[in-house]
Structure formats: C-alpha cells, structure tokens
C-alpha cells in the first residue's frame, strides 16, 4: 500500500510539473517545473528498484541539464516578454491537439486488460541481482562486458559534441580571422547590408560592454515581439542600429580585424 | 483489477509515462520558444526512460536500465548541442521564437 501512496504522490507531482513546463509563460518557471517532474520520475525509478539510475537521473538531469537550461536562460535574458503575445497556437488547433493527445492516451487504457508486457522474462531477477552484489554491481557487470562497445562509442559521441559546441559557441568573426573556412560564417554569403550592419553592432556591443549589449538585445526583442515573422528582420535592424549608430556596415572590416585579434 | 494488487504494476507506470509523453509532445507542438521546446523534448525522453525501467522491472531484465543509461548520455549531449545552436541563433536574431526561424537559408 505504501507503494501506491508513493506512486500517487509522485505521479501527480510528475504530471503537475509536466503541465507546468508546458503552460507556464516564464521559461525560468518552466525549467523549475521540469525539476519537479525529473525528481518525481527519479522517485518512480527508485520504487522500481533502479537505484543507480535514480541517482544518475538526479545528478545528470537536475544537476547538469536543468542548470544548463537556466544558465542559457539567464545568459540570453529570455524573459516573459519574449512570447507573451504569441505563446500558443490558435485555439482551434490547440483543441484538436488536446483531443488527439487524449485519444492516444486512451489506447493503453483500453489495452490494460490484455496483460500486454509480453516477451520472455529475463534472468535478472531480484535474487540474481542480490547475488551479483546489488543494482550498481549488476549494471556495471552488464555495462562493461556485454555493452562495452556501445559504452566506448558513447565517449566518441561526447567528444564530438564537446568539439561541436565549442565551435558553435565561439565568435564567428574570430573563426574567420583565424582562417577557418566556414560556410555559415556571417557576412560571407549574404549581401544584405541591413543584416550585416545589425550583426556588426551586436558583436561590437557585446565585445565592448556587456550592459549595452543586453540593452540593445532587449530593445530589438521588444520591437520584434509584436510583429510577424517577416517584418522582424527589418524591424530589429533599425532599432539596434539606432541604439549604436557609430558602427556601420562600411566599418565591418575594421571591427572584424579587432575582433579576430581579441579572440585569437 | 487496478487496485487489487498491493503495489502498482507495470500498467500504472506505463500509463503515467504515456501521459507525460503526451504532455511533452503537446508542449513541443504548442510552445513557440525554442528553449521550452527543448524542455518538452526532455519530458518525452523521461517518459520513455520510465517505460524502459518499467519493462525491465516487469521482465526481470537489466537491459532496460542499460538503455536508460545510454539515453541519459545522449540526452545530455543533445541538450549541450541544442543550447549551443540556440546561442548561435540568438547572436543573430536576439529572439528564440521559432516563428522567426522560418528563414533558415542565408
């Protein structure tokens, strides 16, 4: 009976947190609701005697992933004004989506009576896991013998992701100054003067003073929040260029060289 | 049938996992901020993790937990790369609403 009580409490918490992720307007509140869901799911792992993964779930998800989310939210300064007006889709499509979700949810409810977890039971019973020394020892035994190759391939994946994130997070101007040929470097393949000038002001502002860069970004975001997709590019360019009129598109070569010197 | 047993069976956990997955999918379709869409992807991944753990416990097989371990690693990597892309987008657009990302060629 205690298992049912735990299941009810933490299942309800998981559902509530998931609904909070979807329906809260502030991204910080969404991230904190995500923490509630992840911890509740960790408790449900614990209830099914997956002790190691319950711990890893809390450490990796709430300790790394959600903190990364919050870090990016704080760094980008995404606040409520980002999507206050156009947060949801239209009411009709929302209603149809909700009906489809409920319909898909009904399918396993109708199937419950069939005894549907099928397949031959494995050999990792509770007695076998206890004989192996516990949950952690059993997982380690399986991970480093049977699943050794996927484990090593995972390390390659992580290294590739780290290199990719470093390349993505570097300043593109610095990369171009260092002689790395990148097809998606800004200003290479589009001849738009407005967007080029916009990016130049952004980079010079962010490299010069962070406070003015943040104000610049918020100004252009407020200008873009109330308009549609197409006028956004044209609306954000005058806002930021009026905020910093000193650097124009004609001075892009000078700013590029100074940026490359700063980065390299 | 549902409450007759003293502890929740696989059905209860699977239903909860389906509900969380559907909420995540709904949020991914409905929200417009790319950050919150990433969070909804995490919700769906967690629902699938709960399913794998449940089936592993039901069928006495540790492979479910091994799969969850790998999914955790891949989810961490995915969030890392996704947020890196988001930062790169934010440098250009000063907005992470997916409405403004319809023009990806450049």
> What would the pLDDT profile of B37-80 be if each residue is shown by its tens digit?
899 999 999 999 999 999 888 888 888 899 999 999 999 999 99
pLDDT at A156 over 90: yes
A55-103 pLDDT tens trace: 999 999 888 899 999 988 888 776 555 555 445 556 666 777 777 777 7
What the block records as the tokens of A126 is: 């509770």
Listed in sequence order, the DSSP H helices in A133-228 are 135-143, 148-169, 172-177, 193-208, 210-225
As a whole number, mean pLDDT of residues A224-239 equals 41
List chain A residues with CB under 8 Å of B77. Answer: 157-158, 161
Identify the DSSP state of B1: -
Residues in chain A: 264
CB distance A18 to B24 below 8 Å: yes
Contact between chains at A88 and B30 (C-beta distance less than 8 A)? yes
**How does DSSP assign B2-64, residue by residue?**
-SSSSS--HHHHHHHHHHHHHHHHHHHHH--BHHHHHHHHHHHHHHHHHHHHHHHHHTT-THH
Question: How many Cβ atoms sit within 10 Å of the Cβ of residue B56?
Answer: 23
The percent of residues in chain A predicted with pLDDT above 90, rounded, is 23
Chain B from 47 to 106: CB within 8 A of any A CB:
49-50, 53-63, 65-66, 68-70, 72-77, 79-81, 83-88, 90-97, 99-100, 102-103, 106
Question: Least CA distance to B87: which residue of chain A?
Answer: A169
Mean pLDDT to the nearest integer, B14-28: 89
Share the mean pLDDT of chain A.
Answer: 68
Average pLDDT over residues A113-138: 73
Mean pLDDT computed over A209-214? 40
Q: Does B12 touch chain A (CB under 8 A)?
A: yes
Q: Comparing A133 with B38, which gets the higher pLDDT?
A: B38
């Amino acid at each position: 009976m205690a298992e049912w009580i735990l299941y009810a409490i933490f299942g309800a918490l998981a559902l509530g947190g998931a609904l909070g992720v979807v329906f809260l307007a502030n991204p910080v509140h969404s991230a904190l609701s995500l923490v509630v869901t992840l911890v509740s799911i960790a408790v449900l792992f614990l209830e099914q005697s997956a002790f190691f993964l319950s711990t890893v779930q809390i450490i990796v998800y709430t300790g790394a992933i959600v903190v990364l989310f919050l870090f990016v939210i704080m760094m980008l300064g995404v606040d409520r004004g980002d999507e206050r007006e156009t947060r949801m889709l239209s009411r009709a499509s929302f209603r149809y989506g909700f009906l489809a979700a409920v319909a898909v949810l009904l399918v396993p409810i109708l199937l419950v009576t069939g005894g549907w977890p099928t397949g031959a039971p494995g050999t990792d019973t509770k007695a076998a896991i206890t004989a192996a020394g516990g949950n952690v020892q059993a997982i380690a035994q399986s991970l480093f013998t049977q699943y050794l190759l996927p484990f090593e391939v995972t390390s390659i994946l992580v290294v590739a992701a780290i290199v990719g994130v470093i390349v993505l997070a570097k300043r593109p101007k610095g990369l171009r100054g260092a002689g790395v040929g990148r097809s998606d470097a800004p200003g290479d393949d589009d001849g738009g003067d407005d967007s080029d000038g916009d990016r130049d002001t952004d980079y010079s502002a962010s490299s010069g003073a962070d406070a003015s860069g943040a104000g610049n970004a918020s100004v252009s975001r407020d200008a873009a929040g109330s308009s549609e997709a197409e006028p956004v590019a044209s609306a954000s360019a005058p806002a930021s260029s009026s905020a910093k009129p000193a650097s124009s598109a004609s001075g892009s070569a000078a700013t590029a060289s100074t940026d490359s010197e700063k980065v390299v | 049938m549902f409450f007759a047993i003293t502890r929740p069976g696989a059905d209860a956990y699977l239903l909860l996992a389906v509900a969380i997955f559907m909420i995540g999918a709904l949020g991914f379709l409905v929200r417009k901020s790319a950050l919150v869409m990433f969070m909804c992807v995490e919700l769906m991944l967690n629902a699938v993790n709960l399913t794998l753990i449940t089936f592993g416990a039901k069928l006495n097989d540790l492979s479910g937990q091994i799969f969850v371990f790998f999914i955790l690693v891949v989810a961490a990597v995915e969030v890392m790369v996704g947020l890196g892309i988001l930062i790169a987008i934010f440098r250009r657009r000063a907005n992470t609403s997916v409405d403004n990302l319809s023009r990806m060629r450049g």
